[in-house]
Amino acid sequence: MRYSIKAGAIDKLPTECLVVPVWSKNTLSAEAKHLDGASGKALSAVLKSGDFNGKLGETILLYKPKGISAQRLILVGAGDRKKLNARNAAKLVKAAASAVSKTQASNAHFALASADITDREYPWLTARVAQELEDVCYRYDATKSKKGKKPAIKSASVSPPAGARRKTIDESLRTGQAIGKAINRAKHLGNLPGNVCTPSFLANEAQALATRNKSVTTQVLSEKQMARLGMGSLLSVSAGSVEEAKLVVMQYKGAASSSRPYALVGKGITFDTGGISLKPGGGMDEMKFDMCGAASVIATLGCVAELKLPINVVAIVAAAENMPGSKATKPGDIVTSMSGKTIEILNTDAEGRLVLCDALTYAERYKPRTIIDIATLTGAAVATFGSQANALLSNDDKLAATLLECGEESLDRAWQLPLWDEYQSLLNSNFADIANIGGPRAGTITAACFLSRFTEKQKWAHLDIAGSAWHSGAQKGATGRPVSLLMQYLLTQKA
C-alpha cells in the first residue's frame, strides 16, 4: 500500500473513493458541507432520507455523485462531536477503512481534517488510517487450496489540516503502515497450524528477517547448545516432542554498540497439549496460538528495523512444542534452570514459564535497560480480563506506568495486577527451590511471581496475553496484539 498527502479542494480531487465524516444528528462536517454545496445538496438529501444519520461507525456509499470528481463518496458517521476521543476516532477510521475495502476502488482519499479528536493530535489519526487500512486488507489463505480475493485498494491519501507540517504527517503515515504490517505479520504466524509453524519454522522466520535487514542479526541455539548452557527448564518442555526446541536471539542495532538494548522475550510454544498433564480435547486446536507471544516479538523487531529506530533491541524467542511423548517430563520431576535454581514441575501444562525463565536468564547477558516478556501464559488472565486487556505485572513501577500509558496511546490497553511478596510463598516447594504452579488461586499473579524469581536484578515487566492474543468462535484467529503497545513503548525510548 502506498500512502501520501493531497491538498486542495476535495470536490476536484480525482480519486476513486473519497471518505468524509458526518457528525451525529445529521450535522455535516466542514468537508461534508463543502461537498454538499458542490453536489447540489446531495448529502443533505441523504440525511433527509433517514438512511444515514451520522451515528458513530455508520457508513453509506454514494456512487458518482453529481459535481464531485470522486467516483465514490463514502460518508462515515463520526458520532457526537464533543465525544470524539481516540477510541471513538479509531472506530470511525476502522469503519471507513472497512467500507473502502469492500469497494473496487484501487485508491482512496480520507478527508478527515475537521475531525478534531479530544485527546489526540491529527498525526495520530493519519497513522491510524494507515494502520487500519493494512488491517482490513489482511486475509489468511496460506493453507487454503484457493486463495481468497483481496481488496482492490492499493493506495491512499489524506488531507492536511491548515498549517500542518507535511513531514510530521508523512512520518505518521509511515509509522502507522509499519505497525499495521507488523500486526498482520504477527497474526499470520499465529494463524499457521502447529504442523507448519514449528520451533524450526519460527527460527527460520527470524533468520529471514535478518537476511532482509542489515541492521538485524539472528542466532539460533540448538538443544545441545542450550544443554551446555544449563537450560534444563526450557528443555524439559520439549522432551516429549520430536520437534527440537530452539532459542532464537535477534539483535537490532540502531544505536552505538555501547548503548544498552531493550529486551523483548516471547513465549513460543508452537503447540501445547499440556504434556503429561493433558489438556481437555475441546478447543485444543487453539493451542496453536500458544506462540503468539513469540509472533509479536518477531513482528515487533521487524517493525523496529523497518522504521530504523535509533535504539538497540534484543528479541529472544523460546520456542518448543509441549507433547506427552515417552520421554516427556512428568509431574513431580525436578529440573535445574539456567540460573541454577531448581524447579519442581507439579503441572506440565504450566510450561510457558518454564521456557521463559531460561530465556529471561539468557537475556541478562545483554545488560538490557528493560526486559518485557510477552506470553499467552494463564487461563486466569482470560477469566479476569476477557479479550479486552493485556494483564501487566512488573517489578518496576516506572516501567509499569510507562507501559500502561503506551497501552492507552496505542489503544492496545493493559491493566496492572499486584506482584506482592505475599504471593511468593504460594510457590514454595518441599523438594526444590520453587514449584512451577501456586495452586488454584491468583494464577496470573503466581505465574508472574515465578518469572520474577529470574529477573530480580532487572527492570522487568510481564504481559500475559492469553485473553487478547486470539479470538475464538466464528471469528477465530490471531489478533496481532500486543504489537502496537510494544511499538508505542519502543518509539518513545532513547538510546
User: For residues 44 and 51, what is the distance between their CA atoms, to the nearest angstrom?
Assistant: 11
Interacting residues of 178 by C-beta distance below 8 A, sequence separation 6+: 303, 306, 307, 487
Q: What pLDDT sits at residue 128? A: 99
| 164, pLDDT greater than 90 | no
| 195, pLDDT greater than 90 | yes
User: For residues 156 and 18, what is the distance between their CA atoms, to the nearest angstrom?
Assistant: 10
Residue in this structure with the C-alpha cell 486466569, named with its chain if needed: 380
Geometric angle at alpha carbon 156, from 141 and 40, rounded to 5°? 125
User: For residues 412 and 107, what is the distance between their CA atoms, to the nearest angstrom?
Assistant: 28
Nine cell digits for residue 460: 522487568
Q: What is the mean pLDDT of residues 165-173?
A: 97
Which helix (DSSP H) or strand (DSSP E) does residue 312 occupy?
Answer: strand 312-322
Length of the chain in terms of residues written: 495
Interacting residues of 319 by C-beta distance below 8 A, sequence separation 6+: 199, 202, 203, 245, 246, 247, 248, 268, 269, 270, 291, 294, 355
| 201, pLDDT greater than 90 | yes
- Decide if 298 contacts 189 (C-beta within 8 A): yes
Q: What pLDDT sits at residue 91? A: 98
Q: Per residue in 442-459, is it b (16+ CB within 10 Å) or e — as a string?
A: bbbbbbbbbbbbbbeebb
Q: What pLDDT sits at residue 459? A: 99
Least confident of 147-156, 191-200, 397-406: 147-156
| 171, pLDDT greater than 90 | yes
**% of residues, the chain, pLDDT over 70:** 100
Give the residue numbers annotated as catalytic, written as ranges.
279, 353
- Decide if 414 contacts 392 (C-beta within 8 A): yes
Q: What pLDDT sits at residue 352? A: 99
Q: Per residue in 419-440, is it b (16+ CB within 10 Å) or e — as a string?
A: beeebbebbeeeebbbbbbbee
Residue 245 pLDDT grade (very low, low, confident, very high; cuts 50, 70, 90): very high
Q: What pLDDT sits at residue 148? A: 83
Q: What pLDDT sits at residue 163? A: 86
Q: How far is CA 407 from the centre of its chain?
A: 11
Residue 217 pLDDT grade (very low, low, confident, very high; cuts 50, 70, 90): very high
Q: What is the mean pLDDT of residues 465-470?
A: 99
User: pTM for the whole thing?
Assistant: 0.97
| 488, pLDDT greater than 90 | yes
Residue 218 φ/ψ, nearest 5 degrees: -130, 135
User: For residues 7 and 368, what is the distance between their CA atoms, to the nearest angstrom?
Assistant: 45
Residue 196 pLDDT grade (very low, low, confident, very high; cuts 50, 70, 90): very high
**For residue 106, which amino acid is it?**
S
User: For residues 241 and 275, what is the distance between their CA atoms, to the nearest angstrom?
Assistant: 9
- Decide if 483 contacts 186 (C-beta within 8 A): yes
Domains (ranges, CATH) in the chain? 2-158+170-183 (3.40.220.10), 192-492 (3.40.630.10)
Phi-psi region of 66 (alpha: psi -120 to 50; beta: other; left: phi over 0): beta
Q: What pLDDT sits at residue 81? A: 96
Residue 259 pLDDT grade (very low, low, confident, very high; cuts 50, 70, 90): very high
pLDDT in tens, 303-355: 999 999 999 999 999 999 999 999 999 999 999 999 999 999 999 999 999 99
DSSP state of 264: E
**Nearest C-alpha neighbor of 347 from the set 442, 445, 447:** 447
Residue 191 pLDDT grade (very low, low, confident, very high; cuts 50, 70, 90): very high
Mean pLDDT of the chain: 98
**Nearest C-alpha neighbor of 482 from the set 299, 309, 209:** 299
Q: What pLDDT sits at residue 229? A: 99
SS3 label, residue 262: strand
User: For residues 292 and 310, what is the distance between their CA atoms, to the nearest angstrom?
Assistant: 26
| 85, pLDDT greater than 90 | yes
